[in-house]
Amino acid sequence: MNHWIIAPVVLPLMCGATLVLIGGRAPALAARIGVVATAALLAVAIALLVQADRGGVQAYLVGNWAAPFGISLVLDRLSALMLTLTAGVALAALLYARGGDDRRGPHFHALFQFQLMGLNGAFLTADLFNLFVFFEVLLISSYGLLLHGAGLARLRASLHYVGFNLAGAALFLIAVSLLYGLTGTLNMADMAQRMAHLPADRGLLLQSAALLLLVVFFVKAALLPLYFWLPATYGAACAPAAALFAVMTKVGVYSVLRVSTLIFGEDGGPTAGVAGPWLPALALATIALAAIGALAAQQLRTQIGYLVIGSAGTLLLAVGLAQPATVAAGLFYMVNSTLVAATLFLLVDRIAYARGQSADTLRAGPFDGSRHRLGVTFLVCAVAAAGMPPLAGFMGKALLLQAAGPTVWGAWTIAVVLAGSLFVMVALARSGSVLFWSPAPATPALASSPIETGALPPRAGHGLALVLLLAAVLACSLAAGPLSRYTQATAAQLFERQAYLRAVLGAQPVPAAIDVRREMRERGGKP
């Protein structure tokens, strides 16, 4: 068995536990350990990505118990892609945090590692209850990261965020309990196999449980009308935490994609295509709302939050259309949009310091000597976020429109996605003009000191993190061919679910190195 599959969970767990012990006494050492561990996590994720690209689905039996009785982890193309994307964003965020943000409160690096553990576990787990467990791990860690640095805005946002997610957790438990009571299992592969053979009289209950579970995932993905917590939450978090939060909405999208293709797919019995009739409509409405919100936003952080919502809506549209080609296009788009959102959350912190104004308010003001450097970075991110050529955002949306054209939602998809891109382009063009080109006002009342913005003076880690993320955004365009082929193979693997079922249900425990019972028999029961 390949023990590297469990490394993305164990590595941040052990690192986080270590940092809890030493973080208060040796913060500099804790920061270095956190960066090294995250760099090692990225190396492991890339190795697993290469391994998954060979085409096989691998199951790892935690505790050496066969499914469905034990805990199983599964590595396939989708989980490997999510692990790599998460580790890449996390490394850049940690490098940025070493510029001083990590010292604004206790246990930043430990919380960061525990959130990585929760994210990676959610991407790897093969049963619904452990998906709930990893959801709670990443959410509890995100509560601490959201409050990191204190402040009234963060406290207010955290109250809404915690309350909303506690309600979601309660619904998650109810949905999982219903599914367990109806199917007798929580292993996703086993549940998928049993779903088609359940009695017809359980159909309504099964559909209710499935829809309740999807609602929980839609909360995480910020689908309309469950989106309102996201702009304030992401806008209030410190820059490196907000950059990592850009991955959190993708956990909801990942979960919807996983259960929709594996459990609630064509062979899902009463739950087959349970979200099909209305998910594309809600996703299109989410894209439209996010575009309007970005256009109306008065703060750059809020605007980026709406871009994240629009990205989630585009991904859920690709999932809701339920075609391999649309899912492949959505996955291609997901990589670019996540990297762009993380870059923008870090960039807004630099803009706030350079302007010396209140955080990120979209109004004219003075600018220090970094105007041109930050302006070029903002321009690249704006082009990628709006889906303009020649960057990967345009390619992802073009692939989605091409794949969605023959479907019944083709006309609506083309109209809404193109109109949303136009609105986002106008919104970001306005923001760039105000931030980088408008002259400073004659009255000094609008200005404030850099200390009031919360942004710290430039450090080497700030520039390095932005360069790495910007290089990754550009690499998505330069490597569009290989990335597109990978996402197409990922979508094909998701819709061919038999490989997943065979890998999980066919995995056999490893024989014990020492047979205790035989040893006892040979010794006649004597010690």
Assign 517 a pLDDT band (cuts: 50, 70, 90): low
Lowest mean pLDDT segment, chosen from 331-335, 466-470, 520-524:
520-524
More confident residue, 265 or 110: 110
Read off the tokens for 450.
């850099």
More confident residue, 356 or 484: 484
Range of the domain at 367: 3-506
For the stretch 438-464, pLDDT in tens is: 666 555 444 443 333 466 666 778 889
DSSP string across 387-441: T-TTSHHHHHHHHHHHHHTTSTTHHHHHHHHHHHHHHHHHHHHHHHHHHHTSPPP
For the stretch 309-344, pLDDT in tens is: 999 999 999 999 989 999 999 999 999 999 999 999
Is residue 149 scored above 90 in pLDDT?
no
Assign 360 a pLDDT band (cuts: 50, 70, 90): low
pLDDT for the residue numbered 37: 95
Task: Please give the single-letter amino acid code of residue 465.
Answer: A
Contact assessment for residue 283 and residue 316, using Cβ atoms and an 8 Å cutoff: yes
d(CA 211, CA 247): 24
Average pLDDT, the chain: 87
Host H or E run for residue 83 = helix 77-97
d(CA 191, CA 302): 40
Q: Is 264 helix (H, G, I), strand (E, B) or coil?
A: coil
Q: How large is the average pLDDT for residues 201-206?
A: 85
Residue 414 belongs to some domain of the structure: yes
Using CB atoms within 10 A of its CB, is residue 523 exposed (0-12), middle (13-18) or buried (19+)? exposed
Q: How large is the average pLDDT for residues 121-126?
A: 94
Lowest mean pLDDT segment, chosen from 52-56, 273-277, 322-326:
273-277
Read off the tokens for 154.
């963060």
d(CA 280, CA 411): 12
Q: How large is the average pLDDT for residues 280-298?
A: 93
User: What b/e string do you get for 149-160 counting C-beta neighbours within 10 Å, with b at 16 or more?
Assistant: beeeebeebbee
d(CA 414, CA 354): 39
Is residue 35 scored above 80 in pLDDT?
yes
Residue 519 belongs to some domain of the structure: no
Cis peptide before 390 (omega within 30 of 0): yes
pLDDT for the residue numbered 440: 60
Cis peptide before 225 (omega within 30 of 0): yes
Residues in Cβ contact with 130 at an 8 Å cutoff, skipping those fewer than 6 apart:
71, 121
Residue 363 belongs to some domain of the structure: yes
pLDDT for the residue numbered 513: 67
Residue 525 belongs to some domain of the structure: no
d(CA 8, CA 16): 13
pLDDT for the residue numbered 448: 40
Is residue 292 scored above 70 in pLDDT?
yes
d(CA 96, CA 345): 11
Q: How many domains does the chain contain in total? A: 1
Q: How large is the average pLDDT for residues 44-50?
A: 95
Is residue 174 scored above 90 in pLDDT?
yes
The pTM is what?
0.91
Host H or E run for residue 17 = helix 7-22
Is residue 394 scored above 60 in pLDDT?
yes
Query: Which of the listed ranges 21-25, 258-262, 444-448 does the model predict with the highest average pLDDT?
Result: 258-262
Contact assessment for residue 455 and residue 100, using Cβ atoms and an 8 Å cutoff: no
Residue 511 belongs to some domain of the structure: no
Cis peptide before 68 (omega within 30 of 0): yes
Given the structure tokens 């609008």, which residue do they identify?
Answer: 446
d(CA 443, CA 440): 9
Residue 252 belongs to some domain of the structure: yes
pLDDT for the residue numbered 449: 39
pLDDT for the residue numbered 68: 85
Residue 95 belongs to some domain of the structure: yes
In percent, the amount of the chain with pLDDT more than 90 equals 55
For the stretch 211-233, pLDDT in tens is: 999 999 998 888 988 888 888 88
Q: Is 61 helix (H, G, I), strand (E, B) or coil?
A: strand
Residue 76 belongs to some domain of the structure: yes
Given the structure tokens 């010396």, which residue do they identify?
Answer: 356
d(CA 319, CA 475): 25
Contact assessment for residue 182 and residue 205, using Cβ atoms and an 8 Å cutoff: yes
Residues facing 299 on adjacent strands = 361
pLDDT for the residue numbered 451: 36
Residues facing 357 on adjacent strands = none
Q: How large is the average pLDDT for residues 183-197?
A: 89
Residue of 277, 273, 402 lying closest to 333 (CA atoms): 402
